[in-house]
Amino acid sequence: MLLLLLGLASPVAAQTLRVGVAGQDAGSLDPHRATSTQDKGTVGWMYDGMVRFPPGSADPAKLEPDLASSFTVSADGLTFDFTLRPGVLFHDGQPLTAEDVAFSLRRAADPQRSAFAADYRVIETIEVVGPLQLRVKLRTLVPGALGMFANYHGGMVVSRQADTGAQPPGTGPFRLERVGAGSGRLLANDTYFRGRPALRAIDVRFITSDQTRELAFVAGELDLIYGRREQRWVERMRAVPNVVVEVFGPGEFRTLLINANVPPLNDPRLRRAIQYAVDPVAIARFVGTDVATVWPSPVPPGYLGSTDDVPRFNADPARARALLVEAGHPNGLALRAVVSNISAQQPIMEVIQAQLRRANIRLDMSVVEHTTYHQQIRQDLSQLTFYGAARYPVADSYLTQFYHSASSPGRPTTSLNFAHCSAADAEIDAARQEANAPAQLALWATAQRKVLEAGCSVPLFDLRQVWVRRSNLDLGYRLEGALNLAPPITEATRLR
């Protein structure tokens, strides 16, 4: 009976899309503050940028005009001139002007009003040249700088009325009607500049439990849900009639960072032993090859500048043991790791623990609550740190945050360099200032090779996004990627 219900979505009711996402509530639906999966996806349906990722793509090389009808970039890559589309209206009926975009960019750069202010510090001036003309000058070159103005994070445009205490007005295909008590409702923006949306509303339910979301979907209560990023679950849902499983990027790239700041891992031979002891292929097989993509480079697959032309350390426990002996540890090596108790981390670290044991490396794991994990890894309490993250898909974002010495714990600019890696600082810095695209790519490729040669990490796998939809939900595009981690719902999305 439950499977039968999956095929009985009423065409009459198809004007309202019913979505189930993970989380207890909506989080922040202010686009300049939305940082979690459940809120990033929802705000992506309500706001536009001056440029956009085409629906179904997360490729920064494919960015195209959105609220801007056209744009130019100066030869030195520092000045961006935008011409806005005429006649675009905010959800409150006010027309979009260059003053609104200037306000929005300044707001995105304000740490009191934006979670992404650090990304916009590089802006030197924002000049309103005309009612629909805007000029932005940068202090220094930024790799993938056009992405600062895209429909993502601080690039989403809000009106000058954004700080009145109400929901910030946007220009997207849907507007917020209400949110609270574990649910929200968006209504179609019938003045949307790309055309009247086919859907009349989106009802969003925030459901923490994977099982509860699945049961609601199978019972016919939802049309689209955030799924489990597990192989068996994906295979089981693919076997259900009238269901489409969408697996797409960018994923959250999983890496094992090796802390060279804490002895004895300051010995590069021991770091190399760990690289030979860990088997990413077996780990990905454990997670599931549909959802976990093995990748050998420190920069995730699909990022501009990522390369697989890097040194390979295929699993070789015997070679790892020989390196231990060479480094003066014939009786083996004992290491410690702070490990989060969440299901996306602890089981994988237990697999890594078993792999290390075969190479005569004992890993003592301190399993803690996720918040405590984040605190302790930033205090250099872990010799091996498992970390998963998604960033704007340009090599600089990952190399800078994970592998530049300025991002090491204890530095004023600390970020995620738990390896205390410094091997590629020169290339990372030079690439950031390189205006010639081929030369920049070459510098990024060299940086990735140097990171691995220095034994800074073991790249593991890219854990892709999983969503499940009914077959009568036509997204209106082919879903290959979505930077806001949820399928875009556009004016063309419809229930047949």
**Of 142, 161, 180, which residue sits at a domain end?**
161
User: What gap in Å lies between CA 312 and CA 291, rounded to an integer?
Assistant: 22
Give tens-digit pLDDT for 45-66: 999 999 999 999 999 999 999 9
In a domain, 129, yes or no: yes
pLDDT at 27: 82
What domain count does the chain have? 3
Give tens-digit pLDDT for 463-495: 999 999 999 999 999 999 999 989 999 999 999
User: What gap in Å lies between CA 211 and CA 145, rounded to an integer?
Assistant: 40
Same domain, yes or no: 41 and 99: no
280-287 and 346-358 helices cross at what angle (nearest 10)?
150
Question: What is the residue range of 421's domain?
Answer: 251-463
pLDDT at 124: 97
255-286 burial, b at 16+ Cβ within 10 Å, e below that, comes to bbbbbbbeeebebbbbbbbbbbbbbbeebbeb
- Mean pLDDT score, 444-463: 98
In a domain, 167, yes or no: no
Same domain, yes or no: 154 and 141: yes
Give tens-digit pLDDT for 139-197: 999 999 999 999 999 999 999 989 888 899 999 999 999 998 889 999 999 999 999 99
**Of 161, 195, 224, which residue sits at a domain end?**
161
CB 471 within 8 A of CB 244: yes
Same domain, yes or no: 266 and 394: yes
Task: Residue 209: give its domain's CATH number.
Answer: 3.40.190.10
Give tens-digit pLDDT for 253-303: 999 999 999 999 999 999 999 999 999 999 999 999 899 999 999 999 989
Same domain, yes or no: 179 and 103: no
Q: What element of type H or E holds 176?
A: strand 174-180
Please state, for a pLDDT cut of 70, what percent of the chain lies above it: 97
Same domain, yes or no: 283 and 386: yes
Task: Residue 396: give its domain's CATH number.
Answer: 3.10.105.10
Give the confidence band of 38 by pLDDT, cuts at 50, 70, 90: confident
Same domain, yes or no: 378 and 483: no
CA dihedral defined by 431, 435, 441, 443, rounded to 10 degrees? -30
